[in-house]
Structure formats: structure tokens, C-alpha cells
Amino acid sequence: MGVFTRFKDIIGSNINSMLDKAEEPEKMIRLMIQEMEETSVELKAACAGLMADQKRIARELSQIGERAELWNNRAKLAMEKGREDLAREALLEKLSAQRLSEGLERERDRFAVLIEQAREDIEQLEAKLESAKERQRSLAKRHVRADQRIKARSNVSRVQSSDVMMRFDQFEQRIERMEAEAELAAPRQNRNLEQEFALLEGGDEVEEQLASMRSAAKE
């Protein structure tokens, strides 16, 4: 496929529509960009060739112009010397150079049109290429966001898994059991302390009652 045929296909393509239908849009846009870049290189090379030909024609026109001027001067010289036959020959050479110059001028103009068209094609392709690269950057960002969402969902799923929830429940039950044990331990300690103080506080009363019981027994 020629470069200009590929260029027309690229410019006529709807990138967004093609990517929306593609199974692997990232791979497809990468291949499209590669083809655009290769086509751009070929278009620029073709344009450079046209410009080189245009410069060659410009040099030839300059040389032919000098040649036509030379024969014109010779024709004048021949007429001044009374050599009309030589003047005629000189004018024929001048006329031949002028006709050749006219043909080269038409070719030069044609190359100018081709070069202008080539430059416009390059500008269009570069604009299309930039659009494709922007779409590629957009796809890359979407891919990153999609990965982040997948990882987030994976973390949520892992947290919500039965194994994790079971371990969490076991940990919660363990804490509740420790709290219950602490609650049961505190009152028992308080009761023992209260009993000791009660014995101390009631010691005298017991001794008095024992003394009374001894006196009654003696009587």
C-alpha cells in the first residue's frame, strides 16, 4: 500500500468509533499510532524529495535564463557586424532556451502545488496523530483507575470473606470473655476485703459476748 493511500485511509478513519468496537483498544491505538508515525516519516521524505526537485528546476531555470541572455547578446552582435545569418541562428537558440524555460516554469509551478499539498497532508496527519496520542493517554488513565477499583474491590472482598469475619468474631468473643472475667473478679476481691474489715470491727463484740457467757456458766 502506498504512502498516500495509507494517508487517506488514516485521515478518513474514525479513531473513536474503531476503538469503541475493538476488543483490545490499548493494543489497537498503539498500532494505529505506530502506523501514523511511519506514514508521517514517509510523507515528510516525499515532501523533501519534491522540494529538492523544485530547487533543481530553479537552478536549471537560472542557467537557461543566462543561456537565453547569451544568445540574445550574440544576435545583437551579429547584426551589428552585418551577419544577419548568424543573428538568425542566435535568435533560434534564444527561442529554444525560452521554450525550455517555459516548460520548466510550468513544472516548477506544479511542484509548488504538490509541495503545498504535501505540507497540508503532513499537518493533517500530525493533528490526527496528536489526537490518537491524547486518546492513548486517556486509555492509560482509565486503565490505572480500573486497576485501582479492582484492587479496592479485592480488598473489600477479602475483608468481607467468611474467614476474616470468623477471625474477627473470635477476637471479639475473646475480648468479651476477658471483660466478663474482669467484672467477676472485681466484686469477689471487694467481698473478701469487706469480710476482713467486718471481723476487725466485730471482734470486741464477740469478746464481750464470750465473757458474758463465761460469767453465766460460773453462776
Q: Which amino acid is located at 38 in the chain?
A: E
Domain count, the chain: 1
Q: Among candidates 63, 67, 8, which has minimal Cα distance to 35?
A: 8
pLDDT (0 to 100) of residue 6:
65
Q: Which residue has the cell 513544472?
A: 107
User: Does residue 124 fall inside a structural domain?
Assistant: yes
**pLDDT of 38-93, one tens digit each?**
888 999 999 999 999 999 999 999 999 999 999 999 999 999 999 999 999 999 99
> Which pTM was predicted?
0.57
How many residues are recorded in the chain? Answer: 219
User: Does residue 184 fall inside a structural domain?
Assistant: no
Confidence of residue 103 (pLDDT cuts 50, 70, 90): very high
User: Does residue 37 fall inside a structural domain?
Assistant: yes
Residues spanned by the domain of 44: 3-151
**pLDDT of 136-177, one tens digit each?**
888 777 666 665 666 656 655 555 555 655 666 676 777 777
Distances (CA, A) of 50 to 46, 57, 58, 107, 108: 6, 11, 12, 11, 10
pLDDT (0 to 100) of residue 213:
74
Helical segments of the chain, H only: 3-12, 15-21, 25-80, 84-159, 162-201, 203-218
